[in-house]
Amino acid sequence: MNEWIDETARLDTWIAARPPHRLIGLDTEFMRTNTFRAKLALVQANVAGGIALLDAPRLGVHTALAASLRDPDCVCVMHSASEDLEALAAIVPEGPSILFDTQIAAAMAGFGFGLSYQKLVATLLGIDLPKAETRSDWLQRPLTPAQLEYAAQDVVHLPELHALLAEKLAALGRSDWLAEDCRRLIERICRAQPDPQPQRAFRGAADWPRERQALLRRVLLWRDASARALDKPRPWILDDAHALNLAAQPPQDSNELFERSKGLRALRTPQRQELFALLQAPLNSDELEIAPIPAALTSAEKRLIATMRDDVAAIANRLELPEGLLCPRRHLEALLGDRAWPAALDGWRKPLLHDTLMSRLAGLVAVSTPA
Note the helical H segments in the chain: 8-17, 56-59, 63-69, 82-87, 102-108, 117-125, 145-156, 158-172, 175-190, 210-230, 234-237, 240-248, 254-260, 269-280, 285-288, 299-319, 323-326, 329-338, 349-368
Contact 315, 326 (CB under 8 A): yes
Give Cβ neighbours of residue 156 (< 8 Å, ≥ 6 apart): 25, 46, 51
Q: Can the peptide bond before residue 142 be classed as cis, meaning omega within 30 degrees of 0?
A: yes
Q: What is the CATH number of domain 2-190?
A: 3.30.420.10
Contact 64, 52 (CB under 8 A): no
Q: What is the pLDDT of residue 53?
A: 98
Q: What is the pLDDT of residue 364?
A: 82
pTM of model > 0.85: yes
Instruction: Please choose, from the candidates 68, 79, 54, 55, the residue with its C-alpha nearest in 3D space to the C-alpha of residue 22.
Output: 68
* CA–CA dist 108, 174 (Å, integer): 7
Query: Which of 274-292 are b and which e, b meaning 16 or more Cβ less than 10 Å from the residue's Cβ?
Result: ebbebbeeeeeeebeebee
* 33 secondary structure, DSSP code: S
Q: What is the mean pLDDT of each run of 10 residues along the chain (371 residues)?
A: 93 93 95 92 96 96 93 97 94 96 98 96 95 82 94 97 98 98 95 90 95 98 97 97 98 97 95 97 96 90 96 98 97 92 97 97 69 47
Q: What is the pLDDT of residue 366?
A: 60
Start-to-end CA span in the chain (Å): 75
CA-to-CA separations, 162 to 42, 100, 155, 158, 352, in angstroms, rounded: 22, 8, 11, 6, 26
Q: What is the pLDDT of residue 368?
A: 56
Domain range 299-368, its CATH number among 1.10.10, 1.10.150, 1.20.1250, 2.60.40 = 1.10.150
Q: What is the pLDDT of residue 347?
A: 97
Give Cβ neighbours of residue 36 (< 8 Å, ≥ 6 apart): 227, 228, 230, 231, 232, 233, 234
* 336 secondary structure, DSSP code: H
* CA–CA dist 205, 223 (Å, integer): 18
Which amino acid does the sequence have at 32? Answer: R
Tell me, letter by letter, the H, E, C secondary structure of 46-63: EECCEEEEEEHHHHCCCH
Q: What is the pLDDT of residue 185?
A: 97
* CA–CA dist 65, 288 (Å, integer): 47
Q: What is the pLDDT of residue 365?
A: 65
Fold of the domain spanning 198-288: DNA polymerase; domain 1 (1.10.150)
Q: Give start-end residues of each CATH 1.10.150.80 domain in the chain.
A: 198-288
